[in-house]
Chain A
Amino acid sequence: MNRNEIVEGLKGGAVVALSSASFAVLFGAVAVDNGLNLPEVALMSATVYAGASQLVGIELFGQHVAAWLVVLSIFAVNFRHVLYSAALTRYLTHFSLGQKLLAFFVLIDPQFAETVRRAESGKTITLEWYLAFAATIYVPWLTFSIVGAAFGAMIGDPRVWAIDVLLPLYFLGIVVGFRRKPNFYPVVLASFIGSILGYQLVGSPWHVSIGAAFGVLVAALLPLSPPPGTKTAKAGHS
Chain B
Amino acid sequence: MNFALDPATAWLIIAAAAATYLTRIGGYVLITRMSSIPPRLEAALNAVPAAVLTTLCAPAFFNGGLDIKIAMLVALVVSLKYPGLIMLAAGWATAMLCRHAFGL
Contact = CB atoms under 8 A, between A and B. Distances in A.
A192 B58 contact: yes
Contact of B87 (A85, A173, A187, A196): A173
A168 interface: yes
Interface in B22-51: 22-28, 30-32, 36-37, 39-51
Q: From A160, A182, A219, name the one whose CB has the most chain B CB atoms within 10 angstroms.
A: A219
Chain A interface, DSSP helix/strand/loop, else mixed: helix
Q: From A86, A113, A210, name the one whose CB has the most chain B CB atoms within 10 angstroms.
A: A86
B27 A89 contact: yes
Nearest to A19: B88
A162 B76 contact: no
A189 B16 CA distance: 32
Q: Determine the interface band of chain A, counting residues with CB < 8 A from chain B.
A: 35 or more
Interface of A: 15, 19, 32, 36-40, 43-44, 47-50, 53, 57, 61, 67, 70-72, 74-75, 78-89, 100-101, 104-105, 107, 109, 112-113, 116, 159-162, 165-178, 181-184, 187-188, 190-192, 194-196, 198-199, 204, 207-208, 210-212, 214-222, 224, 226, 234, 238
